[in-house]
A and B are shown apart, each in its own frame.
Chain A
Amino acid sequence: AQTVTQSQPEMSVQEAETVTLSCTYDTSESDYYLFWYKQPPSRQMILVIRQEAYKQQNATENRFSVNFQKAAKSFSLKISDSQLGDAAMYFCACQGRGAQKLVFGQGTRLTINP
């Protein structure tokens, strides 16, 4: 079983600045996957970035990168050069290897100030 905790209900950042969203998780699985999803106001969830837990190298996708600390069970998302289109709810999620369902955190609402 997995649990995912996002301790920041809301965050804001100035356009072009960098922001980090926090996520901690707990799992009994020895191997698992971690995801960040974005949910804009239109409600359609979009995958931002994903990480395989057995890989030590942090995943990067353009302006988005993660800081994966396996021992601390931490998986934070860094957004560089924030853009107005980054404004959304961001959800951290965990998936056990061999399982299918995603277990989500409560979400962080990100506001971008122009």
Chain B
Amino acid sequence: GAGVSQSPRYKVAKRGQDVALRCDPISGHVSLFWYQQALGQGPEFLTYFQNEAQLDKSGLPSDRFFAERPEGSVSTLKIQRTQQEDSAVYLCASSVDKSSYNEQFFGPGTRLTVL
């Protein structure tokens, strides 16, 4: 398909485990975003990439959260030493270039449950 894909769709982790969430943006899209969506809430911004450069990581809640996009396409969001409050749906989005006002295309999300 031509849309944004994310894997895994569901992840259950024991508290203290490390997890890695993957995002495949639409081919050729320059901008990539990660959002965190708690149950019953709107998405909240985590971080933004323009190609391989991480230009904004102001939304990452702690230093346990780390994101990368080494070749400017696929991105991975890593959470170390997971805590129960990390349970949420993690959404990835991409847009065609760096301009504002561009439509952000969202993936289906990864639902993370930390026990």
Q: What chain A residues lie within 8 Å of B42 (beta carbons)?
A: 4, 6, 91, 93, 104-107
Q: Roughly how many angstroms separate A98 CA and B55 CA in the complex, as a whole number?
A: 13
The residue in chain B whose Cβ has the minimal distance to the Cβ of A107 is B42
CB distance from B67 to the nearest CB of A (A): 13
Known: A43-B89, A44-B107, A45-B106. A52 touches B101 (CB 8 A): yes
Give A residues with C-beta under 8 Å from B. Answer: 4, 6, 33, 37, 42-47, 50, 52, 91, 93, 95-107
Given A42-B108, A43-B108, A44-B106; A101-B45 close (CB under 8 Å): yes
Q: Which one, A43, A46, A97, contacts B100 given CB within 8 A?
A: A97
A91, B55: Cα distance in complex, Å: 25
CB-CB contacts below 8 Å: B86-115 with A? 89, 91, 93, 98, 100-101, 103-104, 106-109
User: Nearest chain-B residue to A103 (Cβ)?
Assistant: B45
Q: Is the CB–CB distance between B91 and A45 below 8 Å?
A: yes
Number of A-B contacts (CB under 8 A): 64
**B50 neighbours in A (Cβ, 8 Å):** 100
- Would you give 9 A-B contacts (Cβ < 8 Å), ordered by A? A4-B42, A42-B108, A43-B109, A44-B108, A100-B55, A102-B33, A102-B43, A102-B45, A105-B42
Measured CB to CB, the closest approach of chain B to A113, in angstroms, equals 22
Given contacts A44-B3, A44-B108, A45-B93, 11 further A-B contacts (CB under 8 A): A37-B106, A43-B89, A43-B109, A52-B101, A99-B100, A101-B45, A101-B48, A102-B35, A104-B42, A104-B43, A106-B40
- 4 smallest CB-CB distances across A and B, nearest first, come from A104-B42, A45-B106, A101-B45, A33-B101
Q: Which residue of B lies closest to A109 (CB)?
A: B40
User: Are B106 and A98 touching (Cβ within 8 A)?
Assistant: no
* Bound complex: CA A99 to CA B55 (Å): 11
Contact of B31 (CB < 8 Å), options: A93, A96, A100: A100
Interface residues in B62-105 by Cβ distance below 8 A to A read 89, 91, 93, 98, 100-101, 103-104
